[in-house]
Amino acid sequence: MIAPATNIWNGLRFKVFADVNSRVLSKQGNMKSGDHPFTMNVGFDARHYLPIYRNIIWATRAAGDFSWGKQKMIYYLGGVDNWLMFGDNQKTNGTYRYFNPANIPDPNTNYAYQSLAVNMRGFLQNVANGNNALVINSEIRVPVFSSFINKPINNAFLRNFQIVQFIDLGTAWNGSYNKIERPNVSYGTTPVQIKVKAGGVGPFAGGYGFGARSTLLGYFLRFDAGWEMKGVFRGKPKFYFAMGLDF
């Protein structure tokens, strides 16, 4: 794999991983001696970058995480990686900016750790949760100035400025793999709570939109506007300001 420009790659890269964690103490509280709660987690992350024209590429990614054991990992689906959050999560009108607490995790499952399943633009964090998660991302990345100007560009902001069109699909669920289904977005709290099936495709919630990236003061910053996959640009987009390269 080669990198002809910042945030632009050509080729394939992937990783497969497995984690096993166990409590060191043999007895704690009501635990029986020799009872060691353990967490097992396996996953993959594969990314492919296809050149289209000069530095313009089509970047795709598929990632999955699966956890089991006496204590599990819980994955919160939604949002973006390294999301820069300004202000409190709850707004004055009662809605939320970053994390939706209405989707309550399964009370009958024992979780030991938590993580995010990203990118899933068009949604807040916790559009779905569970001990399993799958995410698929697609981006067309267009470095505007470096792709169409045939001379060196000294300014880092202009040289690395990119426009992006993206589509995200993702889901998270509890239990066995035949329980995968389209996530439901929960609004309100019990006893008055409404669940609405998220926009998407098949068992996946879906979002799409546009973004811009560039280098500012030595940091690579990302700005995205994402719509939930319910019609064409229907409703207000959700905005994401984040830091870091790639997905």
For residue 14, give its domain range: 2-23+36-205+229-243
Query: Which ranges of the chain have pLDDT less than 70?
Result: 25-36, 187-193
Closest CA to 167 of 197, 206, 202: 206
For position 30, what pLDDT does the model report? Answer: 57
Are 43 and 20 in contact by the 8 Å Cβ rule? The answer is no
pTM for the whole thing? 0.89
pLDDT one-digit tens code per residue, 208-247: 999 999 999 999 999 999 999 988 898 899 999 999 999 9
Determine the pLDDT at residue 57.
Answer: 97
Q: What is residue 102's predicted lDDT score, i.e. its pLDDT?
A: 86
Reported as half-sphere exposure (CB side, CA atoms, 13 A), residue 20 has a value of 1
Cβ–Cβ < 8 Å for 79, 240: yes
pLDDT at 25: 64
- Asked whether residue 19 is assigned to any structural domain, the reply reads yes
Q: How many domains does the chain have?
A: 1
Which residues fall within 8 angstroms of residue 199, CB to CB, at 6 or more apart?
122, 205, 206, 207, 228, 229, 230, 231
Cα 239 to Cα 1, 53, 195, 201, 224, distances in angstroms: 31, 29, 23, 22, 6
Q: Is residue 223 part of a domain?
A: no
- Residue 101 domain flag: yes
